[in-house]
Amino acid sequence: MSIPSLFDLTGRSVLVTGAASGLGLAYAETMLEAGARTLMTDMDAQALDTEVQRLKSRYPLVEGATLDVADATAVDALVDGMTARHGAIDCVFANAGISAGRGFIVEAGQLENIDLAHWDKVLRINLDGVLHTVRAAARHMKPRREGRIVVTTSIAGLRSESLSGYAYVTSKAAANNLVRQAAMELAPHNVLVNAIAPGPFATNINGGRLRLPESAERMRTHIPLGRVAQADEIKGLALLLASPASSYMTGTIIPVDGGASAR
Ligand SMILES: NC(=O)c1ccc[n+]([C@@H]2O[C@H](COP(=O)([O-])OP(=O)(O)OC[C@H]3O[C@@H](n4cnc5c(N)ncnc54)[C@H](O)[C@@H]3O)[C@@H](O)[C@H]2O)c1
């Protein structure tokens, strides 16, 4: 296979959750540029519409649909509908996620101050949402004996993390193991499941906190590369994991973190 064809997604059909902003938007742009028909979904209907309209003039194969990943029935219906329209679903990015919350470095983030309603909400979106998306995709990919599932987890799910909340780090650790588990179950069916585990990226998560100059300053000491990443810096790995180039990769959790997890 030629090098360009290793990364060519022409004729493929891709779904991205949480695609109206940040990493999800970067994944969608990557898929479109590589030639895939791409269904962008998000629970923020207005932001989604703005991005889909912006991309439409350049990429006619873009589509948008409102979706809350916490709603299992809605996820199933969307994936069923997409598969019926496109004939197949080749790759899914289970990416939607929320709020790291406050870490135990501040009193509000310590065990006795955990807000259980916030805990439930984070787990419902960051973990249940991933399960709903992975499960809906697998159901269609298994019988075809082909498919890619890419979950956005976090380096906060690989180790303890004083700056992120309990619910967030727990949801991401569980999502990392869900990826390994699903990869093992689906390997005999040639459905490949991998995780991208980002470090700090300047997106809208946590109210866009990582875009602030103070965050940039703090990250200088926390991150070996000495800076927060921009969303575009996720694109290379997204393309690799969605394309024929990664045909022998499954069950991997790949940090994109400026070296943080190597410390
Ligand atoms: N930015 C970082 O530093 C960082 C680091 C590690 C992991 N991540 C993970 O990357 C993923 C994307 O986050 P981001 O940084 O791009 O944030 P973001 O806030 O810029 O984008 C997240 C998108 O997900 C959508 N969303 C939220 N809840 C949803 C739901 N229930 N259903 C559907 N869509 C929903 C939001 O509307 C938003 O458009 C998340 O899973 C996040 O935990 C981000």
State the DSSP code for 230.
Answer: P
pLDDT of amino acid 99: 85
Residue 94 Cβ contacting ligand 1 at under 6 Å: no
pLDDT of amino acid 228: 95
In degrees and rounded to multiples of 5, residue 253 shows phi and psi of -125, 110
Stronger pLDDT, 213 or 48, i.e. the higher one: 48
pLDDT of amino acid 204: 94
Q: If you measure from the C-alpha of residue 21 to the centroid of ligand 1, how many angstroms do you get, rounded to a whole number?
A: 7
Residue 14, helix vs strand vs coil: strand
State the DSSP code for 16.
Answer: E
- Edge to edge, the sheet with strand 62-66 lists 62-66, 37-42, 13-16, 91-94, 147-152, 191-198, 253-256
Q: What is the pLDDT of residues 109-157, one digit of tens each?
A: 999 999 999 999 999 999 999 999 999 999 999 999 999 999 999 999 9
Confidence of residue 19 (pLDDT cuts 50, 70, 90): very high
Q: Which atom of ligand 1 lies at the shortest distance from residue 172's CA?
A: 43
The answer on pLDDT for 221 being more than 90 is: no
Considering the chain, what is the average pLDDT of its residues?
96
Distance between CA atoms of residues 177 and 127, nearest Å: 11
Q: If you measure from the C-alpha of residue 229 to the centroid of ligand 1, how many angstroms do you get, rounded to a whole number?
A: 15
The answer on pLDDT for 220 being more than 90 is: no
Residue 253, helix vs strand vs coil: strand
Residue 201 Cβ contacting ligand 1 at under 6 Å: yes
Distance between CA atoms of residues 14 and 47, nearest Å: 20
pLDDT of amino acid 123: 98
As given in the structure block, the two tokens for residue 88 are: 């197949």
Q: Does an H or E element contain 167, and which?
A: helix 166-186
Residue 183 Cβ contacting ligand 1 at under 6 Å: no
Domains in the chain, CATH or no CATH each: 3-253 (3.40.50.720)
Burial (Cβ within 10 Å: 0-12, 13-18, ≥19) of residue 53:
exposed
pLDDT of amino acid 219: 80
Q: How many CB atoms lie within 10 A of CB 147?
A: 21
The answer to whether residue 168 is catalytic is yes
Among the residue ranges 34-38, 75-79, 100-104, the one predicted with the least confidence is 100-104
Q: Tokens 């289970």, residue?
A: 94
As given in the structure block, the two tokens for residue 35 are: 């030639």
Q: If you measure from the C-alpha of residue 2 to the centroid of ligand 1, how many angstroms do you get, rounded to a whole number?
A: 34
Residue 43 Cβ contacting ligand 1 at under 6 Å: yes
- Residue to mutate (ligand 1; options 21, 93, 163, 228; most atoms within 8 A of CB): 21
Residue 200 Cβ contacting ligand 1 at under 6 Å: yes
Q: Whose CA is nearest to atom 25 of ligand 1?
A: 18
Q: What is the pLDDT of residues 63-80, one digit of tens each?
A: 999 999 999 999 999 999
Q: Whose CA is nearest to atom 1 of ligand 1?
A: 201
Residue 71 Cβ contacting ligand 1 at under 6 Å: no
Alpha helices in 2-101 (DSSP H): 3-6, 22-33, 45-56, 72-86
Q: Whose CA is nearest to atom 19 of ligand 1?
A: 205
Per the CB < 8 A criterion, the answer to whether 38 and 93 are in contact is no
Q: Tokens 């390994």, residue?
A: 180
Per the CB < 8 A criterion, the answer to whether 109 and 33 are in contact is no
Confidence of residue 217 (pLDDT cuts 50, 70, 90): confident
The answer on pLDDT for 227 being more than 90 is: yes
Q: Whose CA is nearest to atom 24 of ligand 1?
A: 18
**Which residues does 55 contact at the CB level (< 8 Å), separation at least 6?**
28, 29, 32, 40, 62
Q: If you measure from the C-alpha of residue 204 to the centroid of ligand 1, how many angstroms do you get, rounded to a whole number?
A: 8
Q: What is the pLDDT of residues 169-212, one digit of tens each?
A: 999 999 999 999 999 999 999 999 999 999 999 999 988 988 99
pLDDT of amino acid 142: 98
Q: Which atom of ligand 1 lies at the shortest distance from residue 210's CA?
A: 3
Distance between CA atoms of residues 137 and 171, nearest Å: 20
Residue 42 Cβ contacting ligand 1 at under 6 Å: yes
The answer on pLDDT for 41 being more than 80 is: yes
